[in-house]
Structure 1
Amino acid sequence: MILEIKVPSPGESITEVEISSWLFKNGDFVKKNQVIAEIDSDKATLEICAEESGMLIIKAKKGDILKVGEILCLIDTSFSKEKRNFIAPSTIKRLNQYKIDKKKIISKNKKYDAIKKIPSMGTKNLINRSFDITKLSKLRRKLSERLVSVKNETAMLTTFNEVDMSNIFFLRKKYKNVFKEKHGVKLGLMSFFVKSCIIALKKYPDINSMIDGENKINFKYYDISIAVSGPKGLMVPVIRNADTLSFRGIENTIKNLSNSIKNSTISIDDLTGGTFTITNGGIFGSMLSTPIINPPQSAILGMHNIVERPIVKLGKLEIRPIMYLALSYDHRIIDGKEAVGFLLSIKESIENPIKNLIGSEENLKNSFELK
């Protein structure tokens, strides 16, 4: 029996995908539920599993663009490991139908050098001038298109501020071990910033909005997108209803979403929507940047690395851990006054977290759910 494996639908708005990798070769025996290929859509990478055990017959190669519903590969379920060089008549008939040479199925694939060596112009005396040419993945191409469209279609500006991280460091140092022991997740910086952003978004609602033609949509909920670097590039999963989550809830959600991206099991739903984005270039050592808005949102907060810097406190010079913050925003619906006020609100929350994020020292253990 020949089983057709077709391209599944990753989501309502997605009509085609790109084959990013094959994990088996033509003629390999695959087992039911084994991952045999990965496909890229505009938003995520999805795994394709064998629906039955048998011989794999690849119909489309890596890099091909297929529409949803098109045949990706075939599986001959009559084929077993013991019959590796035997092809059933029904299989031969189907191979002929798809114009696939049966000799290629039972023979080993030839390997070719992927590096293209092209003579360098004007560099006769130089050696080792080779380079690789690789096709951008569909995910990367779509990301490029979105970023360029943001630059061309929005009036994007960026405003900056700095924040003293001393009190956050104090709280994390005091509670991180017991928090990790009780909840199985680290008490990270991101939960403090998510909560600070929600407070600021409530004060400045236009930052939690988007333009739709001639209309402005102000969201009454807070779905916070978090930029996460994965094997296939930058992805932006969403923390739904972040305003209803505790510190533990936010950190657990981020951990689960990050693991899904690393394991290529993230779903389209996890990446869809979002009303405001936070990105942390500081984990890679970035001192300062102008983050690009994640469309159709209207603003994005950029966090950066934390460096000990000399600052003046009450007339005295002190060394404090300082982070630079950047807010990029669409000036068509967000005024500079709102953008500056938004960053000041975050600064106030981070520099005085007990008062602004937790409420009181007596409420600390309740906020971290340690009782």
Structure 2
Amino acid sequence: MASIPAQLSPSPSTSGTATVSIDLGDRSYDILIGEGLLDEPATYAGLPKSSTALIVTNTTVGPLYAARLQKALAGHHKKVLVTELPDGEQYKDWPALNQIFTDLLEQAADRKTVLYALGGGVVGDMTGFAAACYMRGVPFVQVPTTLLAQVDSSVGGKTAINHPAGKNMIGAFYQPQRVVCDLVTLDTLPQNELLAGLAEVIKYGPIADAEFLGWLEANMDALLARDRAALRHAIRRSCEIKAWVVGQDEKESGLRAILNYGHTFGHAIEAGMGYGAWLHGEAVGCGMVMAADLSARLGLIDEATSRRIRHLIERTGLPVRGPALGADRYIELMQVDKKAEDGEIRFVVIGPLGQAGMRPAPDAVVRDVIAAHT
């Protein structure tokens, strides 16, 4: 089992812009966390300059923030274009990806063109994948506007699209130049999207920081009320943990897999229900309940710890019971998970609290977990 060094635990930050750095040698970059960052031209100082930039967003976020980002970038690029994609996990696919390529080609974008991902995890993943592929690689910047993207998907360089047979199965590791987390953008986030983001915040406690889990329990009401100071600390701590893990294992050859706590069950829910039926964070929240139960059944944590995790997820309003797909279907879907090896499903489990590892589990135990939570 692995745990993040305790000395990285910060005190809550209540004002100003926080900077969390990801140390990856010549691919290192900063995560900026603060208020009003999106509109401030200084936010983008030091980034690659180009004659053309493309903001990739969706039909929900674009009308809210695209023009504001264009204005902020006006002094940085001669021409700032916007591509609006349809909104939803079900559009994280080849046609939407090809729309980005088409717009780049129609504008004669060259290899210095900078892409800006303005939106949630779907936009960020697809923009990053497009940047990795276009002319074999162009720079891109993450400007996440959802809590889930700010604490997870925008950080670490995982880019991908979905396939009907599995989530995020087609993609590349490709790091952004910078991540800009503007807390103000969370004001327009629908409540169910906020809750989905809290699932990814919660996961960092069981896998890496038991003290942070306790802080989340004490401050969940403030987070649900969108208290800025609470959100700032939750985002910063989540990013610090992810930055440390990614810095140790950029391409998920070992340690980084712990960030997928709850995702093996969660991805099966998403694929089994059809992308978009459940939000990613909803599926992960339910998946964490199942993974905690699995950890308890394997003797790695006690039942009280498993119930504690379930209770916190329940408090957020996230689902704690999965759809009744049947154990055979769950197992079939989990066998194509990226962590599976030779068809053997490998689960992220916790034990003791604040530490995580990866291991297979007996089929009968997995089936008992599925039966108990669907």
Name the TM-score, length of structure 1 as normaliser: 0.27
The structure richer in strand per residue is 1
Bigger CA radius of gyration: 1
Name the TM-score, length of structure 2 as normaliser: 0.27
